[in-house]
Amino acid sequence: MPRRGKRVKRRQGKRGRIRTAPASRRTMPFQSRPNRASAYGTRVERDTMGELAVPASAYYGIQTARAVHNFPISGLRFPRSFIRAMGLIKWAGATVNEALGLLDKKLAEAIRNASQEVVDGRWDGEFPVDIFQTGSGTSTNMNANEVIANRAAELLGGARGSKLVHPNDHVNLGQSSNDVIPTAIHVAAIEMMQRQLVPALKHLHEALAAKGREFDPIVKVGRTHLQDATPIRLGQEFGGYARQIELGSARVRQAITALSEVALGGTAVGTGLNTHPEFARRVLALVSREIGCQLKEAANHFEAQSTQDSVVEASGELRTVAVSLMKIANDIRWLGSGPRCGFGEILIPDTQPGSSIMPGKVNPVIAESVTMVAAQVIGNDLTITVAGQSANFELIVMLPVMAYNLLQSIELLARAVENLAVRCVEGIAANAERCRDSIEESLAMCTALAPEIGYDAAAAIAKEAYQTGKTVREIARSRRVLPEARLEILLDPWRMTEPEGEPPKR
């Protein structure tokens, strides 16, 4: 884990002292105060609202227990990526507070070690608070503070619930839920985008581009409005898909840039009350090193905490990627439809039996799974958009659901994109014979004749071809509208797939 930052000599005076509770509530340094445990395996803790029983084995404390009791809503919990981000912030906070002379060395070391365990996922089960909770995410910030404080106390030889390491005074020193939670959302999203989504999009782009090159010699009928249109090369279609994903990757990188400016340092309302002016900058330098992205303190903390426009923007970029995936996946389904009574222009890898009643049927299940992911991401974006509007004065009050939906969208997209590349696109083959046969049957072939014989004459040929079941080529020959040599040039399908005047590239 990160090396400890350079320590500076502890400053004296009011700002440099470790903050302690009033004498009536102060714990003895590095000693455990006995807990009152019941016969049912609980310990009794006290906060400003009174006493409450907490499971004796829990690392979380009374405020987390209250939140679990108050929000029995969904069973949805913050994902691993978010808990890791919280651990990183708390780890860096202890390191910086020690360096600033605000936190005792032994306390800081214990908090760092406990935070590291949170970063590593050792205590994920100790984060039981529902997503649908206080809109600032205070319950989850306190959940992290309590878990780290109790584990740090244990590392110092104390007991859970002893407040030997205080969740507010020590672990949360220089912080507020109002700047920590939005910062954690950004950190978690950036890490997931960089480590999961961007590589997956790169893989899919490469797979589609490779198919574009492989299928470039194959000419087929184009389609607009699901009706026959002028010819196109199968490779050109797949090249279009590849470009969509390439642009999607650029959009995700833009989202990372938007998320790199974070709220830490603003504390309660953006004024930075109760935090050292160097705290945020130093913490973000440490966290940046760990996630491989340069974070920066918000240019305006009042904007950073009263809104989450950057999360709304990032979700919008993910929605656009989802829309691209929906188009690509549906095209793959259509192009592979059949195998005998559909388009059947591509052959999709068989992955599993497709029917419980029709033997031998195989469905485009990978593409279908992608369309469902796309629908979920689009729905998540709507929730995030509504949540982004719920910013009242100095605080946005739907942070937990924004976090959950954003991080879910990233994870779903990353997995679906990788799966589409591996289990579908890389194994697609072209049905060249079917593509070739459909070209000659297309009535849109007459389009190439229009510049020389006129739109109305070309339309008449198409109408007769449709009525008689003959091809455009056959009707044009029978009507002798152009010399045979010129007709062959104009009705060359490959020529129709190139810019005007360029020779065929076969």
The residues carrying an active-site annotation are 225, 355
**How far is residue 343 CA from its own chain's centroid?**
34
> For residue 126, how far is the Cα from the chain centroid?
24
Question: How far is the C-alpha of 336 from the C-alpha of 346, rounded, in Å?
Answer: 5
Q: Residue 353 gets which letter from DSSP?
A: B
- Report cis status (omega within 30 of 0) of the bond before 339: yes
Token pair recorded at residue 73 = 């809503």
Which tokens hold the place of 62?
């009374």
Query: How many residues belong to the chain?
Result: 506
- DSSP H or E run through 392: strand 391-392
Q: Which residues, other chains included, contact 200 with Cβ-Cβ below 8 Å and sequence gap of 6+?
A: 413, 414, 415, 417, 418, 421
Distance CA 285, CA 420 (A): 37
Contacts for 485 with CB less than 8 Å, ≥ 6 apart: none
What are the strands of the beta sheet with 36-37, ordered from one edge?
36-37, 42-47, 50-55
